[in-house]
Structure 1
Amino acid sequence: MLMVTPCTDWYLVFTGVAKGNVPLSTSILPINLILQILLLPIFLLLFFGRSGNVEFRSLVESILLVLLIPFLLVLVTKKIVSRSNTSGTSFTGFFVKSQVLFLSLAVVAMFASEGRNLLENPDVIYKLLFPVIIFFIITFLLAQLVSRFFKFSYQNRVSLTLTTMARNSPISLAIAVSAFAYEPLVALSLVIGPLIELPILALTSQLLLKIRKKVI
């Protein structure tokens, strides 16, 4: 479930860190969101012989809280800063530099929801570590090959790489709780995913920056 759902949030943070094409990456976010909502129940049916549904009300609330409200807040903040007589550089600079920090807080909140199960089943981390790392290595190499074949610019190569590598645990988690309500280890596995994923994406962004120096 984790591997088949593209990311709709934190891949933008690492794309920005690696100096990639953030507007291009942002433009496909709605597509990724719609596709995973439509396809994840089908994947569940194919892989596990059962499907899961998210209540329409819960889905609307998630979209409002995760996408629309933050987007509106950004627009309001930009207008306030632009109309202010003082420079907004330090204000906006703080949030730009603190993106990874806020992202880490979000992951901590996810872990808090499954803290007891994690303490009772620490071996799940080791079982997931090897296959997840293999997935990220394969997707990274494929993204580099495709980028070279189509002669992408460095910025677009970063966007393709991180969009392909990053996975979307929150949506998977919501459906897992619905479809596997009496199997807590399924939800726990999806919570552990970011623990492995975030350090890999951070290392990948630094690796891409080194590639950028060679390209330039």
Structure 2
Amino acid sequence: MKRDALERNQVWLYLAAVVAGLGAGSVAPGLAPSMELLLWPSLALLLYATFTQVPLAHLPAAFRDMRFMSAVLVGNFLVLPVLVWGLTAFVPEDPAVQLGVLLVLLVPCTDWFITFAHQAGGDVRRAIVATPVVLVIQIVLLPLYLWLFMGDGLAVRLSAGRMAAAFLSIIVVPLVLAGLTERWAEQSGVRGERLIQRLGALPVPLLGFVVLLIAGSQVEAVLGSLDLFRGVLAPFVVFLAGAAVCGVVLGRAFSLPPDQARTLLFSFSTRNSFVVLPLALALPPGWEAAGLVIVFQSLIELFGMLLFLWLVPRVLMPFRGT
């Protein structure tokens, strides 16, 4: 299946992966240790393939259009964190659940939002240029947000050393390797371009495989968390609605044309779920709910994007005369 077809049908692929993983974990529970063993290298490969699609070498280009970048940064790192803080009042008081919600809602997407923006008639060039800036800033600010929302005791309760090891091995190393790959590709002409294109086809199937491994290795936790999922469904839906409103308001406040405003809205409404997923999976025993919450949010988000792909160009941000 080609990349475009994979991206159009990714929500169904992920749902099938969840069902397959739950089925495999239920029928053959002895597979759980093997699935857990495969999970970490699969995550590292997933993030490496994803990061190669982020133009890390072109960070300075992002600041040539300060109006669009200002809207992206203000919305993602000032306005939406306030919305997330308000939503935590409606999240179950379980610290693992709250951490999972914070992890996933505080980090803007740097990959599939480009696809959704393109499908909705957004400005893909600006989306691509903005992604490395958004990625770097979210990595820097996430610890600050968690400290503000959860307090000083968080690092002690979560084993900061274990989290740091996961961050370095699953996020930093793939990020550095992706940057080196991009530099080599730019110097290698057509051969390098082909490699980047081939790597670009990997994130969707790899994420499906990761979701299958999580569902299969955590089948008891998943089946035991149905009440938990009901408890976070409303906050996730409200976040999508709030992100859409934020996109419309800031698009008008910064006088962005419709294609740029559409890109802005999809930047606000999509989150970097599988970038923070390794951090959640590295948590000590008793915090498994954080990872499950992140996977659940990504599924809710994908259904929301199916709605937004119809709603944004037709109702929220139509071109003049349409």
What TM-score range do you get, normalising by the shorter chain? Answer: 0.7 to 0.9
1:5-50 per-position Cα deviation (integer Å, ceiling 9, x unaligned): 1111111110111111111111121122112222222333333331
SS at match of 2:121: coil
Deviates more, 1:182-191 or 1:46-55: 46-55
**1:129-208 correspondence runs (5 A):** 129-208=233-312
Distance change in 2, residues 1:76/1:204 (3 Å): farther
- Larger deviation: 45-54 or 188-197? 45-54
Whether the aligned pair in 1 keeps the contact of 2:104 and 2:276 (CA below 8 Å) is yes
- Equivalent position of 1:5 in the other structure: 107
Q: Which moved more, 1:151-160 or 1:202-211?
A: 202-211
Residues 103/207 of structure 1: CA separation in 2 closer, same or farther (3 Å cut): farther
Q: Distance in 2 between matches of 1:2 and 1:57?
A: 19
**Distance apart, 1:170 and its partner CA:** 1.4
- Cα distance change of structure 1 residues 129 and 24 upon mapping to structure 2, 3 Å threshold: same
Secondary structure of the residue that 2:105 maps to in structure 1?
coil
**2:127, 2:183 → 1: CA distance?**
19
- Rounded to whole Å, the distance in 1 between the matches of 2:147 and 2:268 is 23
The answer (yes or no) to whether the contact 1:10–1:103 under 8 Å persists in 2 is no
* Counterpart check, 1:60 vs 2:172: yes
Cα distance in 2 between the residues matched to 1:104 and 1:174: 17
| Alpha-carbon spacing, 1:182–1:20, altered in 2? closer, same or farther (3 Å) | same
Give the aligned residue type for 1:135: F
**One of 181, 190, 196 as aligned partner of 1:79:** 190
Mapping for residues 26-105 of structure 1, pairs under 5 Å:
26-48=128-150, 49-51=153-155, 52=160, 53-55=163-165, 56-63=168-175, 67-68=178-179, 79=190, 105=205
Gaps of 5+ in 1: 83-91
Instruction: Quote the Cα distance in structure 2 between the aligned partners of 1:160 and 1:57.
Output: 31
1:118 aligns to 2:228 (yes or no): no
Residues 161, 188 of structure 1: CA spacing in aligned structure 2 closer, same or farther, 3 A cutoff?
Answer: same
Question: Is the CA contact 1:19–1:155 (under 8 Å) kept in the aligned structure 2?
Answer: yes
Q: Any stretches of 5+ residues in structure 2 without a counterpart?
A: 1-102
Distance 1:46 1:172, change over 3 A: same
Alpha-carbon separation, structure 2, partners of 1:46 and 1:179: 19
Over 3 Å counting, the alpha-carbon distance change for 1:125 and 1:78 in structure 2 is farther
Comparing 130-139 with 141-150, greater Cα deviation is found at 141-150
- Give the stretch that moved more between structures: 153-162 or 68-77: 68-77
Q: Give distance in 2, aligned partners of 1:47 and 1:180.
A: 20
- Alpha-carbon separation, structure 1, partners of 2:170 and 2:129: 24
Structure 1 residue 160: Cα displacement: 0.8
Structural RMSD (CA) = 3.2
What is the identity, as a one-letter code, of the residue corresponding to 2:261? Answer: R
The secondary structure found in structure 2 opposite 1:215 is coil
Partners of 1:176 and 1:187 within 8 A in 2: yes
AA aligned to 1:46 is L
| Aligned equivalents of 1:158, 1:119: Cα separation in 2 | 37
Give per-residue Cα distances to partners, 1:131-152, cap 9 Å, x unaligned: 1110110111121012123221
